[in-house]
Amino acid sequence: MSGSTFGKIFRITTWGESHGPGIGVVIDGCPAGLSLCEEDIQRFLDRRKPGQSKYTTRRNEADSVEILSGVFEGKTTGTPLSLLVRNQDQRPRDYGNIASLFRPGHADYPFTEKYGFRDYRGGGRSSGRETIGRVAAGAVASLILKELGITVRAYTKAIGPYEVSDGDIHYDQISENSFYMPNNAVAEKAGEYVSSLMADRDSCGGIIECTADGLPVGLGEPVFDKLDALLAQAVVSIGAVKGVEIGDGFAASRSSGSKNNDPFFSENGVISKKSNHAGGTLGGLSDGSRLILRAAVKPTSSIAKTQQTVNISGENAEITVLGRHDPVIVPRAVVVVESMTAVTLADLLLQNMTSSMEHVKKIYT
Amino acid sequence: MSGSTFGKIFRITTWGESHGPGIGVVIDGCPAGLSLCEEDIQRFLDRRKPGQSKYTTRRNEADSVEILSGVFEGKTTGTPLSLLVRNQDQRPRDYGNIASLFRPGHADYPFTEKYGFRDYRGGGRSSGRETIGRVAAGAVASLILKELGITVRAYTKAIGPYEVSDGDIHYDQISENSFYMPNNAVAEKAGEYVSSLMADRDSCGGIIECTADGLPVGLGEPVFDKLDALLAQAVVSIGAVKGVEIGDGFAASRSSGSKNNDPFFSENGVISKKSNHAGGTLGGLSDGSRLILRAAVKPTSSIAKTQQTVNISGENAEITVLGRHDPVIVPRAVVVVESMTAVTLADLLLQNMTSSMEHVKKIYT
Amino acid sequence: MSGSTFGKIFRITTWGESHGPGIGVVIDGCPAGLSLCEEDIQRFLDRRKPGQSKYTTRRNEADSVEILSGVFEGKTTGTPLSLLVRNQDQRPRDYGNIASLFRPGHADYPFTEKYGFRDYRGGGRSSGRETIGRVAAGAVASLILKELGITVRAYTKAIGPYEVSDGDIHYDQISENSFYMPNNAVAEKAGEYVSSLMADRDSCGGIIECTADGLPVGLGEPVFDKLDALLAQAVVSIGAVKGVEIGDGFAASRSSGSKNNDPFFSENGVISKKSNHAGGTLGGLSDGSRLILRAAVKPTSSIAKTQQTVNISGENAEITVLGRHDPVIVPRAVVVVESMTAVTLADLLLQNMTSSMEHVKKIYT
Amino acid sequence: MSGSTFGKIFRITTWGESHGPGIGVVIDGCPAGLSLCEEDIQRFLDRRKPGQSKYTTRRNEADSVEILSGVFEGKTTGTPLSLLVRNQDQRPRDYGNIASLFRPGHADYPFTEKYGFRDYRGGGRSSGRETIGRVAAGAVASLILKELGITVRAYTKAIGPYEVSDGDIHYDQISENSFYMPNNAVAEKAGEYVSSLMADRDSCGGIIECTADGLPVGLGEPVFDKLDALLAQAVVSIGAVKGVEIGDGFAASRSSGSKNNDPFFSENGVISKKSNHAGGTLGGLSDGSRLILRAAVKPTSSIAKTQQTVNISGENAEITVLGRHDPVIVPRAVVVVESMTAVTLADLLLQNMTSSMEHVKKIYT
């Protein structure tokens, strides 16, 4: 079944394997007249590129994007955008070990059971490289949002147990450390933690937070396509994400109604909320406040420590996953979470356009 | 835009408002030949009925379901099932107050902004009664699962800060207390807590846990329609849910790879995992272990305490939400989470049937 | 698989069998703020009601519609519209004969093969009564079109070999004869023809033409969701329709480019075409001219003449289809073709709203 | 809106413009384990290649396909297939004339109105080259059908007024003439006709017939996704197709029930029909007989004859469409009709797998 498409109007369809000829995405439903060039997309892709710090794999890939369709004289034409990134680092090597063993924490076993066999080269379709298509699409979605004054921003909230508390967030520090954390001091401690794990052939996870400002009120479609529900799908569909929460999230479950409800108030004719425990959604629709979500990322599954497992013949075995692996994928996943959020918002902005006869008449009369 | 449909093959479309003539669901794509009668569905609906304990609203509704189509001589025909529940408790009353004020924590404000006006009677489409369609569909999905030996079970993990720890779960006690908690002792404390909140005109939330046993390996569709991604959408789409996690979820973000990876082992030709931090999914596909998810439910928004808000003219005002409201909706939402899980699983089971030529040939040759 | 839904934004999901409790449709994605009452829908349903002339079945059904959701104080709310028509004429009778025989020209045989059994009462889901949901949805779609100045009109072009030629069309005569033909003289001859067939226990078919005026230029989505492609699906999905053509259709295949191309011209700043062989679409998009399509309807399959067939045990047998059947379904199908055209247009009007950044900015800035 | 995707399980998404970097398709939902190599696809693409006879454009394109993803060790993996054909003949030339004029019979005018501007190079997305993605997908679909013993075959039924009558069809002659007609004698007359039109700078159309043998009974999904309804969409979505009919089609509208109904009979336990006026569908489901459809193709719009038109400033003007154009596109469209039929059938075969609990249990127990 076709699970490679996301979105209803702004629809993205990703394809590609880690060690095949390339990776890409087709975006159908992008409105015509949006200024777009390859650099706009490359800027996003560069944020997820490997080899940018000592905490990421040194796999050497330029990940250059080519626009194959949908743009004419610098503007989108309304027809599908096809974006291609060629895989460069396809050096032939011995996958024999990986080919015959199911790596713990990986999709090897269920893929083999589902399809009868699997592309064992570097994880195939389950590789982190799959996110290239998401990020390329996110770049395009972000341009639409930008034209409407909407800003999406993701960063690392926590690396393992090292978390930036809400009061200590400094946006200007995000790009100043290897972890994209809004606090250099916490990032430094996180760095020491990750280094010690690397020495121990181990790995860790973390939490990514993403916000969106400038959203109109009313985005999201009741009942199943609520803003928060689609964001939940979008974010949990990223490999290694094991949980998502909106606003206070799980903490809200321990609060009381009188504390958790955000009171409305009006000032100079503008309706706002005095607090934002809700994280920007009410009844699944955007409420005009900042959208806030957090994604829990599990520790990297590929570790060099010896683990117990089973081979494809069903016999017990041991495995040591060698090769180039990030000790923590959180920093590189930041732009993926931001991209999936942007794609979801762009789609819901387009969906919302048809919500009332007033809108319909604005376009047609 | 059409956000009232969920699923790709087993597709449910819900409709209905709290105080309109009725609530219902159309299920298209249910396989033919499934035994189904109204009692099968009623049993599920009765679990979400109000008025069952002192902790739920005393609204008096029978919520009797009628099957309008799709069943012939006790079996589904393969054509759409239309299920209808008439609203009975539509007593005319004064909504004037609610009609002109935006209730904090409710969808009143964004609905009004999105559509230009709203059905203010009892929350309209955002009412908890909207879940009747979900639960009716969940009853049908559960019958499919049952025929394949799959069991879905949801219960209350926590009421406010009162949580049943993983080691203290007693399934046989779930039906023995008003909160559907698998631990009567914790439930008793939770009861005292809720009673004190009621006295204080306040409310609370909690956590619902849901498990599924007996799943075949490989359910879920890469990339965007992963099992956990669709469950995330399904569960977060339920009103008042602010977060979802699979397996260790947010705790996994603080663990290490060597601890979080579940080692495989083989015994008598059966492949299993020694632990289940993953909660039953690997790479977004079911891995043969127990599926585990948790949903964070916020405190009931409707509280009798006076709150600050804004009226539809944009002026500051105060509101006291009177009427029949649950001090905590968690107990009644348990069957909703279970239903959405069952619907998601039924759909992915059908989707997975077309995953390989081996399956195709099993059907056609 | 779920084949009971049509449309992407204005989405209709029909349900119901001929002899079950009722028939209905859920419309999701109807914009908020449209004035709608039951009479608006009833007017359309009355046009397909049986028993209106000596050429239609005398089955006595009021076919009264009830709006179950989605309307508040006379206006659509943006939430799903659920429309219900109860089946009244469910008198118990002996279906034994029909139950065990496959009627020629009917879906009995493939339904039984597909699903393992079938609801044999009156054709079940394949009954002409299935179109009630389509017509109810068409009534709503037509109200949207009306607000934008778009008029859809269907009529009978031919009954058997009796065809109204293009030059002889008189719209004012459509409602003056039993066949909804725009020419009373041809209708009279058609009446004699049908009477003779009835005497002979036989039946006939015909051609329905449908036009739409006032369409904006550019409706339809390249590549697969072209205006004409979706109309083709919409119309051929109506039972008994065996062909569809746009503009000159099959005749165009025998023409030449220089004759078939419609020259553009400009007058007072308005671009028009000098002819309309294309029937209002160019490249699958509306071109501002009148939309013209024709549907070929096969002769009624249910005839009282004895026919050869096979029973459900696979033995050769004879069948005489008794009961209440229209000798020609064309007149009652006219409103169905009009409805499906209206639904398709309404959906494409909404889809087209998101086609350009210019539109996006019109809504959001 | 996203109109570039077709199918629900076997989903194809095409992209690409005539004079951009390339053309392609992503196929999501192809079952794993299907043998597939580039030659399988190339064989289909070669059938639509230009320059193969004096009646087609001499544009020189190799149209070589590259498989970018979804195949591992010669078999599909169950993940999306991405197929790419680079455009080679992108020689820079003067489009000035075409850029500022709306070509009669082309999509220039509605595209410009819809999107605000258009890619005027060679028709952009409306070019016949768009069908490359369809044919590449059709090649893959045909391999699935072949494994199930299903054969799809298309050919030219008529070129302008020169039609092969049903009794004169010789399948072995299809590949013996430039028109893919199953009758060399008619093809010869058609050749003379086309030559005379070419001399006159004119063009013509024709009719393509497509059959499918070996279909299981019951393909197609009631109500809107009937086999014939989806085929109608699939075929009319091909540029230049103005009509479609199934079986006797429009002729059935002039027949009587007693003649048009196909009697069933049983022989050696096999149920068949004595005639096939229905063209292989009953109630929109395949009935086990040969599937027969016909598509009406309009004359090529690009003719060198001078025509009246309007320029993009809305002024009256004359146009002479120069360049490389087929005087009749029917021969090259034959494989496109066959491909769209194959894609539709493959999708419905997969959809039908989930139709009954009997099927479900065959896979899971």
The token duo for B253 is 């973000």
| Residues paired with B102 in a beta bridge | none
**DSSP 8-state code for residue B140:** H
D-chain residues within 8 Å CB-CB of A4?
26, 28, 79-80
pLDDT per residue as tens digits for the range B145-180? 999 999 999 999 999 999 999 999 999 999 999 999
Q: Which of A217-226, A318-327, B181-190, C104-113 has the lowest mean pLDDT?
A: A318-327
Q: What is the ipTM of this complex?
A: 0.97
Helices vs. strands in chain B: H and E counts, helices first: 9, 18
Average pLDDT over residues A212-219: 98
Give the model's confidence band at C60: pLDDT under 50 very low, under 70 low, under 90 confident, else very high. Answer: low
pLDDT higher than threshold 60 for residue B92: no
Give the model's confidence band at C94: pLDDT under 50 very low, under 70 low, under 90 confident, else very high. Answer: low
**Closest residue of C to A29, CA-based?**
C355
pLDDT for residue C204: 98
Average pLDDT over residues D337-354: 98
**DSSP 8-state code for residue C338:** H
Residue D183 CB contacts under 8 Å (≥ 6 apart), including other chains: D164, D168, D169, D170, D173
Give the model's confidence band at B49: pLDDT under 50 very low, under 70 low, under 90 confident, else very high. Answer: confident
CB contact under 8 A, A107 and B256: no
pLDDT for residue C95: 66
pLDDT for residue B257: 98
Treating both helix axes as pointing N-terminal to C-terminal, what angle do C357-364 and A131-147 enclose, rounded to 10 degrees? 60
| Nearest chain C Cα distance for residue A107, angstroms | 28
Give the model's confidence band at B55: pLDDT under 50 very low, under 70 low, under 90 confident, else very high. Answer: confident
Give the model's confidence band at C117: pLDDT under 50 very low, under 70 low, under 90 confident, else very high. Answer: confident
pLDDT for residue D51: 67
Q: Which amino acid is residue C354, in one-letter code?
A: T
**Closest residue of D to A8, CA-based?**
D2
C-chain residues within 8 Å CB-CB of D196?
none
pLDDT for residue A27: 98
CA atoms of B240 and C146, how far apart (whole Å) = 39
CA atoms of A34 and A70, how far apart (whole Å) = 11
CB contact under 8 A, B16 and C69: yes
Question: From the list A110, A243, A262, which residue is nearest B283 (CB)?
Answer: A110
Give the model's confidence band at C207: pLDDT under 50 very low, under 70 low, under 90 confident, else very high. Answer: very high
pLDDT higher than threshold 70 for residue B94: no
Mutate to test the interface with C, among B1, B71, B76, B90 (most CBs of C within 10 A): B1
Across chain C, the runs of DSSP E, i.e. the strands, are 5-6, 11-16, 22-28, 65-69, 71-72, 75-76, 81-86, 151-159, 162-163, 206-213, 241-246, 264-267, 270-273, 281-282, 285-286, 291-297, 306-310, 316-320
CB contact under 8 A, A221 and B245: no
CA atoms of D339 and D157, how far apart (whole Å) = 17
pLDDT higher than threshold 70 for residue A94: no
C-chain residues within 8 Å CB-CB of D126?
222, 283
B-chain residues within 8 Å CB-CB of C24?
68-69, 82
Give the model's confidence band at A1: pLDDT under 50 very low, under 70 low, under 90 confident, else very high. Answer: low
pLDDT for residue B59: 62
Q: Which amino acid is residue C148, in one-letter code?
A: L
pLDDT higher than threshold 80 for residue D37: yes
Give the model's confidence band at C52: pLDDT under 50 very low, under 70 low, under 90 confident, else very high. Answer: confident
CB contact under 8 A, D243 and C250: yes
CA count, 13 A, side-chain hemisphere, B313: 3
Average pLDDT over residues A350-359: 98
Residue bearing the bigger pLDDT, B53 or B108:
B108
pLDDT for residue D41: 98
Q: What is the number of other CB atoms lying within 10 angstroms of the CB of residue B360?
A: 24
Average pLDDT taken over every residue of chain A: 94
pLDDT for residue A120: 85
CB contact under 8 A, A354 and C355: no
Average pLDDT over residues A250-259: 98
Q: Nearest Cα to D40, choosing from D282, D342, D284, D279? A: D342
pLDDT higher than threshold 70 for residue D95: no
pLDDT above 70 as % of chain C: 96
Residue bearing the bigger pLDDT, B322 or A310:
A310
Chains that touch B (3 or more CB pairs under 8 A): A, C, D
Q: Nearest Cα to C14, choosing from A360, C22, C23? A: C23
Average pLDDT taken over every residue of chain D: 94
| Nearest chain C Cα distance for residue D113, angstroms | 6
For tokens 């063993």, what's the residue? A101
Q: Nearest Cα to A71, choosing from A88, A62, A83? A: A83
CB contact under 8 A, D253 and C207: yes
Q: What is the pTM of this model?
A: 0.97
A-chain residues within 8 Å CB-CB of D87?
none
CA atoms of B342 and B143, how far apart (whole Å) = 9
| Nearest chain A Cα distance for residue B73, angstroms | 32
B-chain residues within 8 Å CB-CB of C23?
69
pLDDT for residue D275: 98
| Residues paired with D5 in a beta bridge | D13
Q: Nearest Cα to A250, choosing from B295, C139, B1? A: B295
pLDDT higher than threshold 80 for residue C92: no
CB A284 within 8 A of CB B237: yes
| Residues paired with B86 in a beta bridge | B22
Average pLDDT over residues A44-69: 83
CB contact under 8 A, D148 and B357: no
pLDDT per residue as tens digits for the range C212-225? 999 999 999 999 99
Average pLDDT over residues D335-343: 98
pLDDT per residue as tens digits for the range A70-93? 999 999 999 999 999 999 866 656
pLDDT per residue as tens digits for the range C140-163? 999 999 999 999 999 999 999 999
Average pLDDT over residues D105-125: 91
pLDDT for residue C90: 61
pLDDT above 70 as % of chain B: 96
Q: Number of residue pairs across A and C with CB atoms under 8 Å?
A: 84
Q: Which of A96-105, B33-42, C167-176 has the lowest mean pLDDT?
A: A96-105
